[in-house]
Amino acid sequence: MSFSEDFLWGGAIAANQAEGAYLEDGKGLSIADLLLGGDVKTPRTFCSKILRDRFYPSHMGIDFYHRYKEDIKLFAEMGFKCFRTSINWARIFPNGDEQEPNEAGLAFYDSLFDECRKYGIEPLVTLCHYEIPWEITKKYGGFYSRETIDLYVKYAKTCFKRYKDKVKYWITFNEINAGTIDKGRYNGVGLVEDEDLQRIEPIYKSDMIDIPQKRWEALHNEFVASARAVIEGHKINSDFIIGCMICHITWYPLTCDPLDELAAQKKDLMFNDFCGDVQVNGIYNPVGLAELKKEGINLSYITEEDKKILKAGKVDMYTFSYYMSNCISVDKDAEKIKGNLQGGVKNPYLKVSDWGWQIDPQGLKWTLLKIASRYPNIPLMIVENGFGAVDAVTKDGKIHDQYRIDYLKEHISAMKEAVEEGAPLIGYTSWGCIDLVSLGTGEFHKRYGFIYVDRHDDGSGNFSRMKKDSFYWYKKVISTNGENLE
């Protein structure tokens, strides 16, 4: 067998993209709740006030908050060994800076994790999946403020203590490397400039003001917050396995022109490995720092005390998302393509999804083998991978999503090859195991699930759940421990 007997097969969601109940049981607003929907052509918009009569996809999500028992039962039927979700920070500390946590929020996750355990499903919990409490953004400027580090550590400790016997696997921040690019200013580090805060009309999220110096400092504060959480977590339960989480986009040089090669190498370092190096090795990569200086970033925010914390708070596992690869070229006229968080240059050998993301199973193998060589001493986990597509329901209530099965089959097969070649992979949680709100576009129309949810972009739908063909396929994959992918 390629995969170990205790391989963690499962699925992943995030609180803000599924739970809904956005103000229920004392929950405060989170940054995700201020985002309106977009689509493949139109970016999502942001407004610092909730506008009446507008549709906010996260406010009801897929109503997971009320239907999680039904959903976990379906996950158990597929044979899940692991379920990744996040705790919505604003359910626990509604404004982020209260003295005491919100008991109703804590109780909800108690019940959720108990429900997983009932079926022998191991929860894998992200502490912050693009879910900074909105009040932290407004009052403190998100992670640009060092005070937010303390607020995060307090929140992390509260969760670690409360769930220490229910949750073993943790992730400190989802896709922390979002903070390396302008798009991550809002979702990643929770930064909104005053000018954008004061707008009363929604603006495209992509047009929000980005100040790289502030964003890099905020990212540094997230590193320190993550390292402090790792230190505290291990004190609370030394069995905890706490991971970083990187959005890994694989970058190929478009040609063998040495300049394309160098550009791809730099991109791979600055986007993918810069954050992993800090969180896994506990030090900043010197080449990465030199690049930042070249870009005009003043690095004096990194103190000697911070460096000690980063070294002491190294993560126990490396987790990542993988959806696609991109090319890089020094030729400014090379054809461009969209992508997850970032687009790039089109690869003539690859097909694309309806959302323009290139489909590249071999890129997953490339990624696993690269990470295994770069960080040889820690386990790896793929915590997001999947195919966003439009699904049609037949008259007799069936969803024939062969395209999703094909995508997953090819990716799992590539992952198997990487394991056979030595990658120490301990688990795989497919993204959006149940349909949910798209992060990038805010759509329901872009579906990832094995389970269909009757919810639509105009706010219609009764939230009922239906099994897609991929549901039965993934059940077989899990029951044969990845041996039968047909």
Which residues form the interface with ligand BG6 (CB under 6 A)?
Answer: 14, 17, 174-175, 247, 321, 340-341, 384, 388, 431, 438-441, 446
Q: Which is nearer to ligand BG6, 101 or 276 (CB)?
A: 276
CB of 227 to ligand BG6, least distance (A): 21
CB of 103 to ligand BG6, least distance (A): 28
Please give the Cα distance from 213 to 193 (Å, whole number). Answer: 13
- Residues serving a catalytic function are 175, 384
Write out the two tokens for 122.
Answer: 């191991």
Please give the Cα distance from 440 to 406 (Å, whole number). Answer: 23
User: 309: Cβ–Cβ under 8 A, 6 or more apart, which residues?
Assistant: 224, 227, 228, 231
- Which sign does the torsion angle of CA 155, 158, 161, 164 carry? negative
Q: Which is nearer to ligand BG6, 15 or 227 (CB)?
A: 15
Please give the Cα distance from 139 to 97 (Å, whole number). Answer: 10
Q: Which is nearer to ligand BG6, 83 or 284 (CB)?
A: 83
Q: How many CB atoms lie within 10 A of CB 366?
A: 18
191 close to 213: Cβ distance less than 8 angstroms: no
Q: Is 52 helix (H, G, I), strand (E, B) or coil?
A: coil
CB of 316 to ligand BG6, least distance (A): 20
CB of 58 to ligand BG6, least distance (A): 11
Please give the Cα distance from 270 to 150 (Å, whole number). Answer: 27
Angle between helices 212-236 and 304-312 (to 10 degrees): 50
Shortest-Cβ-distance residue relative to ligand BG6: 440
Q: Which is nearer to ligand BG6, 174 or 221 (CB)?
A: 174
CB of 245 to ligand BG6, least distance (A): 8
Q: Which is nearer to ligand BG6, 75 or 444 (CB)?
A: 444
Q: Which is nearer to ligand BG6, 218 or 246 (CB)?
A: 246
Please give the Cα distance from 79 to 467 (Å, whole number). Answer: 14
> How far lies 408's CA from each of 17, 38, 340, 468, in Å?
21, 26, 17, 14
User: 377: Cβ–Cβ under 8 A, 6 or more apart, which residues?
Assistant: none
CB of 64 to ligand BG6, least distance (A): 14
